[in-house]
Chains A and B, each alone.
Chain A
């Protein structure tokens, strides 16, 4: 049993690590908060004084704000829907005994190791390009006019690219969950005459709910800050400017650190609202 002295010693020894970690997280956040109340224009003399909530009002009232929030939510929602649905299907498929199972699993997981910039470039130039892309050739083969993916279906294209990258992650988590499903339960249901769809709906899906929650929570956190794919493919044009991209434009392209910082705080608030919302709805599964 720890004595009072040993507990104090433990606290003392942990203190540097705790301070370092806290500092690491808090310093950038505090600086963002600090700059969001300043008129800070690096190319116009730097710090031009306090402006109160002006940056927040300007960011919030700019015509680009709501469309960017909407774009963010559409991308996150779209990718989540695709990865969860296809993730479950793929996980069930990969769980079946088959020849070369190990290789197939590695191939399915492979996209997750491709860097976002590289995958966006590959999709843009090799698949979605309306002249040289694989899809264009496919469309032409069937006598159809090739789709100009990135401009005519920009949101769909982005969702496809990002979902391709995140599908392996979802599949991996869901496959692990499926493998822990008690096969005797399924066999018993089958012997009782339950059809495949019912077995899936009443046994497999409830069993997967916790894994789905993990997938949704983790992916949401990463997808809210999606950037490289937009930068490489559409540069925020055609309605694909997300909140992160808008902040980038304000800080680095317009060289307005104050305004961008206010946008950053908005993004943090939005992320927290979504996280709380998600925890309430799906997080309950984690308690069980």
Chain B
């Protein structure tokens, strides 16, 4: 190599490096991990609005199915991989990860983001020791969806805030097994996010809880016995066949086909069962709050898909700008302008429910808001608990434990064991796992 060529090569290299550095100083690329739900996919379509306002920030999307996303972000955050700058996570992860200092505090988001506008229940679920660790993108609770025509035919009326006795009476009146109409459809499929989400929320309204303040499992209490016994009776007498393998999707399909008199599940389902293109009973659906037992707690849950910034991110400021944009009032208005008010992400801000354009476009808006507001993740049960979470317990071991407990309850629903046997096994396996985890 002559001196001349060496010089040329060195100059080229220097230019390239300088060019790279120059480019770096002007553009930050954010890698965003998100779930492939409709609202999130819509957000990707609208990001031009963000990049136009922030020309120095480029966005890279990693869109994954819920379970895969959960595994990927969990691995990344636990190993401090720094692969993502913004993560979509649920209310289960936020308290655990926040307590481990794995997430960046969002207390200093700009004033116009208006943190006070976030629904108190949502803020409570995403806050650890006074620090907000994630911004809710959309939120949900659960409520009763019922067939108005069947109730009318039975000569009954569903109160806005029913008790479990009301539900039992309505289920009995609406059941017509010969016509394949079942009074009530509930989740029976085993899983911490399936039957246990419903049963944990139901147990709250019966005065039961997962753990006492010393973290001792509570399945040996009368309250849990009453919860499971009533659930099994409801399902065995008025539920559809094969309920022990029915989850959210199966019940949605049954309800849309007109085979369920009632369905107690996520508020997000309201728009699916009232959509005439998918539902044969779209114009006959009524809504009510999840039932209670007069003990001060309702059997509804609370969930939010939220955006959080992992502590390992090296573009925290840019990430905060993005999170503030995606969860702002302006973003909601942007979606409304492009897709109509019925399609805005629900369940996170008070101002949305004060907006007439929205409340008139979504007939289930009021009930959704009331359901969300009646859930308190800090005090989910009648008695005090040491954990955060309404339909889950925000500790790392919960997913594993609850899925196994869910399998015992599912087996009880299938008639393979009694409620007492299922509770006994649940108590034993939870005690074992908690001891092994060092509680």
Contact = CB atoms under 8 A, between A and B. Distances in A.
Contacts, number: 101
Given A44-B396, A253-B400, 5 more contacts: A42-B79, A62-B432, A146-B241, A235-B189, A253-B192
Nearest to A45: B100
B416 A238 contact: yes
A25 B192 CA distance: 34
A131 interface: yes
A148 B414 contact: yes
Q: Contact residue range for chain B?
A: 35 or more
A253 B259 contact: no
A43 B96 contact: yes
B414 A238 contact: yes
3 smallest beta-carbon distances between A and B, as pairs: A254-B400, A43-B396, A151-B414
B311 interface: no
Given A131-B240, A131-B242, A237 B400 contact: no
Nearest to A44: B396
Contacts of A46: 78-79
Interface of B: 71, 74-75, 78-79, 96, 100, 180, 189-192, 194, 240-242, 244-245, 253-254, 257, 259, 396-397, 399-401, 403-404, 406-407, 410-411, 413-416, 428-429, 432-433, 436-437
Contact of B403 (A124, A129, A148, A253): A253
A38 interface: no
B259 A131 contact: yes
Given A131-B254, A235-B407, A58 B396 contact: no
Contacts of A151: 242, 244-245, 410, 413-416
Nearest to B78: A42
A45 to B, nearest CB: 8
Interface SS of B by simple majority = helix
Contact of A249 (B96, B253, B403, B411): B403
B433 A254 contact: yes
Contact of B400 (A132, A148, A256): A256
B74 A43 contact: yes
A237 B100 CA distance: 33
B410 A255 contact: no
A183 interface: no
Contact of B191 (A42, A43, A62, A235): A235
Contacts of B254: 131
A152 interface: yes
A64 B416 CA distance: 17
B242 A238 contact: no
Contacts of A41: 396
